[in-house]
Copies of this chain bind each other. A is one copy, B any other.
Amino acid sequence: MSTHTPDRPRRRGRPPKDSARPYAETRNALIQAGLAVLTEKGYSSVGIDEILRSVGVPKGSFYHYFKSKEVFGQELISAYGLYFARKLDRFLLDDSLSPLTRIRHFVQDASQGMARHDFRRGCLIGNLGQEMSLLPESFRAQLKEVFEDWQARTASCLRDAQACGEVAATLDPDQLAEWFWTGWEGAVLRAKLEASSEPLERFTEGFFQLLQAHAGR
């Protein structure tokens, strides 16, 4: 599924009206390729031409699509944030399942995603958070917001779980959600290290045990 397109050898100058994929499409391909690379290697140790080359876009064109590497990064963050927000919704709003089962399914899906790339790719947001000290300061707030967004969606599902008695009403869903995401990022890190999904599984198992323990009181 490499996005590499050895295509037609690109000519200079304005492309004929039809032959070229439209601006938006190329831009999109760049973002896609950027995500693939940055989820694996982070931001600072990746050069733009690695991404450019993987899409078959000449280096000179980069600034036609993005003002700088920094704003490219910003766009990757929000694309990734959105991508996951949608994924979360797809799972967590599926009311054919009990709320906790929805979370379980989400986790399963994410874990399969990592396995599919041999545990080389992790979470973009986690990666960048980790290397924050090497990053443009503008990334910080954005990354924080993404976490908050994911957490809000998760908390809402946990509230549903409380409503139907799957989780004790005494627990704070927001705290639980923050907890979940903090732990999850740690688990992703260990999964990359061990090249195995076990850390992910063990972490989530523990998380559900926690919910259960309280429910049982």
Interfacial residues, chain A to chain B (CB-CB below 8 A): 40-42, 44-45, 120-122, 126-127, 129-134, 140, 143-144, 147, 175, 178-179, 181-187, 189-190, 192-195, 199, 202-203, 206, 210, 213-214, 216-217
Once bound together, how far apart are the Cα atoms of A126 and B213, in whole Å?
29
Bound: A143/B132 CA distance, A:
21
- Shortest Cβ gap from A74 to chain B (Å): 15
Partner of A182, one of B130, B175, B190, B213: B190
Q: Chain A: interface secondary structure?
A: helix
Contact flag A192-B133 (CB < 8 Å), given A186-B183, A213-B210: yes
Ordered nearest first, which 3 A-B pairs have the shortest CB separation? A186-B186, A129-B193, A185-B186
CA distance A132 to B206 in the complex (A): 25
Question: Of the candidates B120, B121, B199, B217, which one forms a contact with A213 in the assembled complex, judged by CB atoms under 8 Å apart?
Answer: B217
Rounded to whole angstroms, the CA-CA distance of A134 and B41 in the bound complex is 7
Contacts of A143 in B (CB 8 A): 193
CB of A198 to closest CB in B, whole Å: 10
CB A173 to nearest CB in B, in angstroms, measures 13
